[in-house]
């Protein structure tokens, strides 16, 4: 499972290192993006270079 670790706190994310599931990276508007499932169960698109998140991608999916 891919994970996003949130370091920011806002209306979507609790921050403080909480882990969220996320999609594989994809291109949108010439930028690498991921979809992160937030605290409300909504998919939020985030730039993969956003410094408020760390990403862990599972390349061993079957």
> What are the CA-CA distances from residue 54 to residues 8, 42, 43, 62 (Å)?
11, 19, 17, 23
pLDDT at 61: 63
Give every CB contact of residue 19 below 8 A, 6+ residues apart in sequence.
3, 4, 5, 6
The tally of domains found in the chain comes to: 1
Domain holding 16, by residue range, is: 3-56
Predicted TM-score (pTM) of the model is 0.88
Grouping H, G, I as helix, E, B as strand and the rest as coil, residue 3 is: strand
Q: Is residue 37 part of a domain?
A: yes
Q: Is residue 61 part of a domain?
A: no
Residues 60, 62: Cα–Cα separation, whole Å: 6
Per residue in 1-57, pLDDT (tens digit) is 999 999 999 999 999 999 999 999 999 989 999 999 999 999 999 999 999 999 999
Q: Is residue 52 part of a domain?
A: yes
Q: Is residue 62 part of a domain?
A: no
Q: Is residue 31 part of a domain?
A: yes
């Amino acid at each position: 499972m891919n994970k996003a670790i949130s370091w920011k706190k806002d209306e979507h994310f609790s921050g403080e290192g909480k882990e969220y599931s996320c999609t594989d990276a994809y291109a949108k508007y010439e930028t690498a993006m991921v979809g992160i499932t937030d605290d409300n169960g909504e998919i939020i698109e985030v730039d993969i270079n956003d410094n408020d998140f760390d990403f862990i991608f599972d390349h061993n999916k079957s």
